[in-house]
Amino acid sequence: MKKKLGFYSIVLLTINSIIGTGIFLSPGGVVASSGDKALLIYFLAAIFASILAVTFAAAAKYVDKGGASYAYAKAAFGEKIGFYVGITRYIAASIAWGVMGTAVVKTVLSIFKMDSGNLMLVTVGFVILMAVLLGINLLGTRLFTIINNVSTICKVGALVTTILVGIGLVVFTGVNEFSTIKTLTDSTGKALGSQMDMPAYVMAIIAAFYAFTGFESVASGAQDMEEPEKNLPRAIPLAIGIVAAVYIGIVGVAMMINPAAIVSTTEVVALASVFENPIIRAIILGGALVSMFGINVAASFHTPRILEAMALQKQIPDYFSQRTETGFPIRAFFVTIGIAILLPMAFRYDMGNIIVLSSISRFIQFIIVPAAVMIFYFGYQKEDIVSTAKKSFIVDVVTPALALVFTVLLLYKFSWSAQFTITTEDGTVVANIFAIIAMVIGYIVLPLGLMLWQAHRIKSFKLEAN
Q: Which of 135-139, 372-376, 439-443, 455-459 has the highest mean pLDDT?
A: 372-376
Q: What per-residue confidence (pLDDT) applies to 382?
A: 62
Q: What per-residue confidence (pLDDT) applies to 353?
A: 54
Read off the pLDDT of each residue in 422-439 and give the average, rounded to a whole number.
72
Q: What per-residue confidence (pLDDT) applies to 397?
A: 93
Sequence-separated (6 or more) residues with CB below 8 Å from residue 232: 10, 57, 60, 61, 218, 219, 222, 225
| H helix runs in 318-445, sequence order | 330-346, 351-360, 363-378, 393, 399-413, 416-419, 433-440
| pLDDT above 90 as % of the chain | 3
Q: Which of 218-222, 297-301, 347-351, 360-364 has the highest mean pLDDT?
A: 297-301
pLDDT(165) > 80:
yes
Q: What is the pLDDT of residues 257-279, one digit of tens each?
A: 888 887 777 676 777 778 888 88
More confident position, 69 or 439: 69
Return d(Cα 180, Cα 254) in angstroms, integer.
12
Q: What per-residue confidence (pLDDT) applies to 400?
A: 93
Q: What per-residue confidence (pLDDT) applies to 1?
A: 42
User: pLDDT band for position 374 (50/70/90)?
Assistant: very high
**pTM here?**
0.75
pLDDT(142) > 90:
no
pLDDT(8) > 80:
yes
Q: Is residue 103 exposed (0-12), middle (13-18) or buried (19+ Cβ within 10 Å)?
A: buried
Cβ pair 239, 252 in contact under 8 A: no
More confident position, 334 or 33: 334
Q: 7-460, what's its fold? A: Amino acid/polyamine transporter I (1.20.1740)
Average pLDDT of the chain is 80
Cβ pair 34, 192 in contact under 8 A: yes
Cβ pair 338, 311 in contact under 8 A: no
Q: What per-residue confidence (pLDDT) applies to 280?
A: 82
DSSP string, 6-53: -HHHHHHHHHHHHSSSHHHHSHHHHHHHHGGGHHHHHHHHHHHHHHHH
Q: Closest Cα partner for 410 from 358, 351, 364?
A: 364
